Amino acid sequence: MSLIWINGQWYDRDSAKISVYDHGLLYGDGVFEGMRVYGGRPFRMAEHLDRLYDSAKAIWLTVPIGQEEMGRVTVEGVAKAGITEGYLRHIVTRGMGDLGLDPRSCPSPTAIIIFDTIRIWPAERYEKGLSMIGAATPMPSRETLSPRVKSLNYLPHIMAKLEGIQAQMDEVLMLDRSGYVAEASGMNIFIVRRGVVTTPPAWTGILRGVTRDLVIDLVAEAGLTMREEPINRYDIYTADEAFLTGTAAEIAPIRSLDGRQVGAGPVGPVTRDLMNRFKALTRQ
């Protein structure tokens, strides 16, 4: 069942509400995290909460509950909701204020945890691979806001996603303003070529995903060479394999980009091995 915690109170999906004057709604002034639940346990909770609190600190936002207590409430909510396989969304906003931009009008931040499930694509996509298209909408400039801040403003990603929907594609590829590959609409990207796994480095303007970092470790565990370096669309077109990673997406193989088949098409051997390793890790 769906369960929502807001500033210490528990609600169901229909009764949970925040003010229309909350600056998270009015201005996207806030941060969030997505977290998976496997076997009734929040997965990589410490890493996700570290990033949530770091994101909040980076935008001068004080989370109204300590990190240790947030973890305790998260575990409690998973049990209360009866979730064994699910998805959590932690949100912290500047809180209720007035119609001006000034954050000083918001005396108390709003903290929210949603306990639910998520599915981005049909299960068959994990066997057949994703069809992707390059989006015309670029990634926001990292000089405006650090991409390491997981903020509530995802409008550029949504605009890119809409391009993919109009093209009847499963997902989109977003580039930075220099034309280098950044990420998908909410996932990191990896390519495999001649046994070498490559992903764009964090300094290029991407969100440093928790699953991304985990997969980098799995690549090393598999005995493969791992590189973090800039890539472009040519590198994906000519790759042996390519895949996306993310908390909601997990590890998802890429079948094609811009109508060009990537490698052999569906799930390559390296991607398959990493998917199996990831699944085994979530069950430990």
Distance CA(122)–CA(120), nearest Å, equals: 7
By three-state DSSP, how is residue 244 classified? strand
7 DSSP 8-state letter: T
Q: Which two tokens stand for residue 22?
A: 């909350």
Q: How many CA atoms lie within 13 A of 95 on its CB side?
A: 16
| Whether 22 contacts 93, CB under 8 Å | yes
Q: How far apart are CA 215 and CA 220, in angstroms?
A: 9
Q: Which two tokens stand for residue 138?
A: 């670029």
**Helix, strand, or coil here: 156?**
helix
Catalytic residues: 150
Residue (of 64, 49, 50, 52) closest to 8 by Cα position: 64
- Cα gap 27→93, rounded to integer Å: 10
Q: Are 262 and 241 in contact (CB under 8 A)?
A: yes
d(CA 26, CA 256): 38
Q: What percent helix, strand, coil does the chain show, rounded to 5?
A: 30, 30, 40
**Is residue 229 classed exposed, middle or buried when 0-12, 13-18 and 19+ CB atoms within 10 A define those classes?**
exposed
Angle between helices 45-58 and 210-221 (to 10 degrees): 140
